[in-house]
Amino acid sequence: MQSKIKLLVLFLCFGSIEILNGQDIHFSQYFNSPLSLNPAQTGNFEGDWRAFANYRDQWRAIAYPFKTFSGGYDRKLSIRGHDIGIGGYVFNDKSGIFLNCTQFYLSGSYRKSINDNNFSGGLQVGYVMKSVNYDKIAFPDDYVLGSNSFDPSHNTTDNGKNQLSYLDINVGVGWSRKINKFEPEVGLSFFHVNQPNESFEGNSASKLAMRSAFFASVKTELSPTLYLKPGILFYNLRGSRDMMIGSQAGFTIPGNRFNVKEVYGGLYLRNGLADPTDAIIIMAGAQIRKIAVNISYDLNISSMRVYNNYRGAFEISIIFKSITTIIKTFTLPCERI
């Protein structure tokens, strides 16, 4: 009975997110999920190819957690002097026990350097599949008077179909440059530009609103072994906002027997300026040889903290980058006179 009530409350809260026009799948470690951040990030890294995976476990304190997994691959290509990035990724998101979403995307980008300014543009085409299990949801009609319990078979509401799929298109642009000890980078992306219909109600039309995402960061070299990288991420969806602001700090470790090249940590706030702070996000990670492993935790300080005892979301990301084989310098032999 208690778990049913929790699920009903959670579903009502989830339904009220319509004011936010539905929460798109996203990670607190947004910079470690590059292709879902901006299509222009495809192939934007040092190396020949990259593979990555992300996992997020959210709201475990409230009956049924939300679990999100993402995995992807991208690589660089040079075709007749043109820099191309190609790749793809897959998302799977389970919202409690009643809503499941799986997404497949192919991603491509084009990069051009002009006077030390690096410009990029990207396009993603994806296929999205969603399903809902109405038997796991407690509706008001499920409550049986006199029995003090919920009975799904008692529901007289027409819940509509339980599966849907649609084509999804995302676009993005980016810019970066190295200025002495500073490396600024900005990006702007737009998701669901084709505004697909995601209604479970058969003939009803419920267009998925276009979402925009803006991010900016400035990697600053404080010393040969220490850097600071403040950054901001801003989402907008029909006037509903989601913002993260904070910074990372990294320390390079010269040759050591453990093959640890770098360790880093970070602290971010979600919202906290125009709106009440939703969460404090603590991050830590290390790069061991070619593999970077990062963990983070969202410490919930919103009004939900009363119900979840400050517990938010746990995330882990793993990124593997190959070494670059692109020749950037040339050595010309010169005989001694």
Whether residue 223 is contained in a domain is answered as: yes
318 or 255, which is more confident: 318
Whether residue 250 is contained in a domain is answered as: yes
Minimum mean pLDDT range among 90-99, 165-174, 263-272: 90-99
289 or 183, which is more confident: 183
Q: Which helix (H) or strand (E) holds 5?
A: helix 2-16
Is residue 319 classed exposed, middle or buried when 0-12, 13-18 and 19+ CB atoms within 10 A define those classes?
A: buried
Per-residue confidence (pLDDT) for residue 201, from 0 to 100: 73
Q: Which helix (H) or strand (E) holds 68?
A: strand 66-79
Report the C-alpha gap between 64 and 2 in whole angstroms.
13
Q: Is the pLDDT of residue 337 over 70?
A: no
Query: Domain span at residue 35?
Result: 2-321
Minimum mean pLDDT range among 3-7, 264-268, 294-298: 3-7
140 or 64, which is more confident: 64
Per-residue confidence (pLDDT) for residue 126, from 0 to 100: 96
Q: pLDDT-derived band of residue 314, with 50, 70 and 90 as boundaries?
A: very high
Whichever domain contains 176, its CATH number is: 2.40.160.40
- What whole-number percentage of the chain has pLDDT above 90? 55
Whether residue 159 is contained in a domain is answered as: yes
Whether residue 330 is contained in a domain is answered as: no
Q: pLDDT-derived band of residue 17, with 50, 70 and 90 as boundaries?
A: very low
Whether residue 328 is contained in a domain is answered as: no
Beta pairing partners, 190: 171, 212
201 or 172, which is more confident: 172
Instruction: Give, as one character, the DSSP assignment of residue 128.
Output: E
Give the total number of structural domains in the chain.
Answer: 1
Whether residue 118 is contained in a domain is answered as: yes
CB neighbours of residue 273 within 10 Å = 11
Rounded to an integer, the average pLDDT of 8-20 is 38
Rounded to an integer, the average pLDDT of 247-268 is 90
Report the C-alpha gap between 162 and 130 in whole angstroms.
8
Q: Is the pLDDT of residue 258 over 90?
A: no
Q: pLDDT-derived band of residue 127, with 50, 70 and 90 as boundaries?
A: very high
Report the C-alpha gap between 78 and 68 in whole angstroms.
34
Whether residue 331 is contained in a domain is answered as: no
Whether residue 35 is contained in a domain is answered as: yes
pLDDT digits (tens, 9 = 90+) for 155-175: 555 556 788 999 999 999 999
Rounded to an integer, the average pLDDT of 23-32 is 82
Nearest to 195 by CA among 243, 128, 95: 128
Nearest to 96 by CA among 128, 122, 47, 63: 63
Q: Is the pLDDT of residue 262 over 80?
A: yes
Q: Among all chains, which residue has been given the structure tokens 């790749």? A: 87
> Is the alpha carbon torsion for 178, 319, 249, 225 positive or negative?
negative
Q: pLDDT-derived band of residue 238, with 50, 70 and 90 as boundaries?
A: confident
- What whole-number percentage of the chain has pLDDT above 70? 74
